Structure 1
């Protein structure tokens, strides 16, 4: 009964969304050309980039917003059919969309359409002549791979959907469009595989998008904060990516992808913690190579979050755990420093963040130079000046490198933020504070959800079968079922694809 309840509930929500869209304001056009033009001019606040071309000696007019239209399209789609005699009137052009609602005409103008009006005629013809400036499809700078496709999303939502559809040539791929932002009217689309994605997850996504009540929504980052389960959690609950192959892989697991006009980033939900440590390279190389690299990434989580705190706890409270041969070098390194290790760590972490931020904001050649030279010069100078111990420089450098290993920039930022509270806990309580800090993170990850899906799955709750693509990456032909954390409607993904091996062995025997 629950399934049918959700099914009909979903239909009601969809019907309500459609009905809401149809309830836009209506202003019937009149047979007076001047009145119609005046209404449109007033509706657009008489903006000076709205052009009114008078035709037929004052009996007709063509209106368009000049920065939004392509003049070549205006000539080709509107005037050429008249000049070559294919039609007698602009109203008769097959590509024209007819209406008698001036509010609809105003919205069409804002989308880059041209509007044609005639005196003594209530018909309003709309033509798609939008000017399009597309960036070429190229590999995302922050998600490069060694093997695999080298194309990425761009700022045009239709191009992005095209890149996905080229990889999934199936009728079950479904696209739904939404308008969010009362002033910006940003075009947002969700993509999912009908019959594979969980209807409850799709319904939650639709409900949360419809609930957005904001004047402006400019990018997926805006949408993410409106729709995620726990907005105050430091961990991202939607995976963001600019790679079509990564979106396709998640769609085929039963997840939902969200695109926004004007942004090359796609959001994927529901997301789990271990998804952020998976990269396309894992599946484009041999399985044992992918497993080795993934284990290094997961180990980098512990290093990035806990290494400075561990070092502070050891030198401040638990000096006895250091091997005898290392006691003298460590002691001589920190003996001349005038302040405690916690101050050293905080100063160095802030310096690393300053260098990183400067490298991002400056032009590329200068930014790379600042990152390398700044790190070398500052690191060497603070050690020589006796302000920071050389071991602390090594610890912070390893921490920074480990945080950059994460394939997701959002999770990398989260790890760097978590370093600060763990440093403070270790400086206060030693190993006890460090353990409490990691326990708090583990409890938070266990309780966190993404669109009703446990964030720490398949570890909590534990599903042994889904561990084939978590800490390790089994051969693809062994991952026959889709992960349950995506709640797919069909768990079977791969059949007996290596039956030929048994047949060959039987022939040999």
Structure 2
């Protein structure tokens, strides 16, 4: 903790202290101003301040004022008086400007920060058909504005923290005072305050530093760029963590099933939304078990296949020199390489590489006799299923899960798959996030919360908040269709 330092009575000593504290950095600008016989100086880091604010507000206020010692000097600009030079250093590296007078015991800290903000466009990774088409940006104040515009309640609380010994990243913890569990709020604050890393640049850093099980493959906090998704979770009693310079927010605590829910589920008809959600849940099983089931069936249990299908698969495998496991591993790794190349390359080139590379390599590798057409179909269905997950973090976890499942299937057949599924289920049941069960409401089972898990009941039937976040208020609506009884 840096000790406070009182302002010197001499202007030169104050300037010298600031220069030494900033290690004589070249972008520290010193602008001397002499008004009515009183010597003063403006200090600011030129790469952080808005020069237009300096000219139109700071200098204009100084030259128009009769006596520079009188208060207040700056009426059109955010400013305050301070006596601690260490706070002056902290203000300078945040983009503020200092005005120090010779012989004065106080100095001004002026809000002259330069802001770069882009428009609030819809996130590319979380597009929806209906609903809001705006998303978070890199400016924290704008992101908080998007949330407060929708939750017009005095109980919406924002708590600021600065994390990172060197980066001093400003983060905000947002929650509803009368809904969120106080123990949950205290637990999140405690973990954030315990961060001692020099570098905290994005919510991804915070996620790893405060999560319960860092060695688990599954994400334990939901990352999103959509304000409406954050708002919906806040109203259920959860917390959101936002950071300056990042267009995404972390939501905690969350359950496994939250990663398979999309904002579109609540903007369409409940029966259609339930059908689509069931497809997404089925895709989770397909994405990491289909290659394993194929390998086990071909290697150990081909007798269960219909005779015609068995002949077709056997014919396609006649000239393949590798066992099914090597064949599947080869195709999966080629697909992952193509996917990563498509992400890293510029958008137009990336799409071309993905399409042309997939077609050319897929056709060539089959013609070369390295893999079969059946394996191409299996891997393609697996890839498509992994893309149905609305969360990128969960999609990545599912893609990695298929590799140990394939190895188990190649060694033990269906028994290996069964053991893999049992181990995965046990892990999900044991996993917790901020004290809340990750696999709720399935384990522990709670029938009242099953209305919005595998299928979505009508909005008017969702009268209670989910229990997993332990909200203070369970009831979120009364019978909203009471008008029906009066007809």
TM-score normalised by structure 2 residue count: 0.97
2:17 aligned with 1:43, yes or no? no
Answer yes or no: is the 8 Å Cα contact 1:259–1:265 preserved in 2.
yes
Task: Kindly state the Cα deviation for residue 395 of structure 1 after the two structures are TM-superposed.
Answer: 0.3
Counterpart for residue 203 of structure 2:
220
Counterpart for residue 54 of structure 2:
74
Counterpart for residue 168 of structure 1:
151
2:273 aligned with 1:295, yes or no? no
Any gaps of 5 or more consecutive residues in structure 2? none
Equivalences for 1:275-424 in 2 at 5 Å?
A: 275-424=258-407
Task: Kindly state the Cα deviation for residue 24 of structure 1 after the two structures are TM-superposed.
Answer: 4.9
User: Quick one: distance in 2 between partners of 1:153 and 1:99?
Assistant: 34
Answer yes or no: is the 8 Å Cα contact 1:82–1:89 preserved in 2.
no
Q: Give aligned pairs, total.
A: 482
User: Quick one: distance in 1 between partners of 2:71 and 2:28?
Assistant: 21
3-state SS of the aligned residue for 2:171?
A: strand
User: Quick one: distance in 2 between partners of 1:496 and 1:346?
Assistant: 54
RMSD value, Cα? 1.2
Task: Kindly state the Cα deviation for residue 90 of structure 1 after the two structures are TM-superposed.
Answer: 7.9
Change (3 A) 1:86 1:35: closer
Question: In the TM superposition, what whole-angstrom CA distance separates every residue of 1:364-412 from its partner, at most 9, and x where no partner exists?
Answer: 0111111111111111111111110000010001101100100000000
Answer yes or no: is the 8 Å Cα contact 1:91–1:125 preserved in 2.
no
User: Quick one: distance in 2 between partners of 1:77 and 1:248?
Assistant: 37
Equivalences for 1:7-156 in 2 at 5 Å?
A: 24-56=2-34, 59-85=39-65, 88-89=68-69, 92=72, 93-94=74-75, 95-156=78-139
Higher mean C-alpha displacement, 445-454 vs 94-103:
94-103
Answer yes or no: is the 8 Å Cα contact 1:403–1:415 preserved in 2.
yes
Task: Kindly state the Cα deviation for residue 86 of structure 1 after the two structures are TM-superposed.
Answer: 8.1
Task: Kindly state the Cα deviation for residue 494 of structure 1 after the two structures are TM-superposed.
Answer: 1.2
User: Quick one: distance in 1 between partners of 2:67 and 2:286?
Assistant: 72
User: Quick one: distance in 1 between partners of 2:350 and 2:214?
Assistant: 32
Which structure has greater helix proportion? 1
TM-score normalised by structure 1 residue count: 0.93
User: Quick one: distance in 1 between partners of 2:317 and 2:107?
Assistant: 80
Task: Kindly state the Cα deviation for residue 83 of structure 1 after the two structures are TM-superposed.
Answer: 3.9
Counterpart for residue 448 of structure 1:
431
User: Quick one: distance in 1 between partners of 2:154 and 2:239?
Assistant: 16
Counterpart for residue 18 of structure 1:
none
Question: In the TM superposition, what whole-angstrom CA distance separates every residue of 1:161-188 from its partner, at most 9, and x where no partner exists?
Answer: 1110001010000000111101111101
Task: Kindly state the Cα deviation for residue 252 of structure 1 after the two structures are TM-superposed.
Answer: 0.1
Higher mean C-alpha displacement, 88-97 vs 476-485:
88-97
Any gaps of 5 or more consecutive residues in structure 1? 1-22, 505-509
User: Quick one: distance in 1 between partners of 2:152 and 2:66?
Assistant: 37
3-state SS of the aligned residue for 2:126?
A: coil
Change (3 A) 1:130 1:91: farther
Higher mean C-alpha displacement, 349-358 vs 320-329:
320-329
2:169 aligned with 1:191, yes or no? no
Answer yes or no: is the 8 Å Cα contact 1:78–1:90 preserved in 2.
no
Task: Kindly state the Cα deviation for residue 91 of structure 1 after the two structures are TM-superposed.
Answer: 5.5
Change (3 A) 1:324 1:336: same
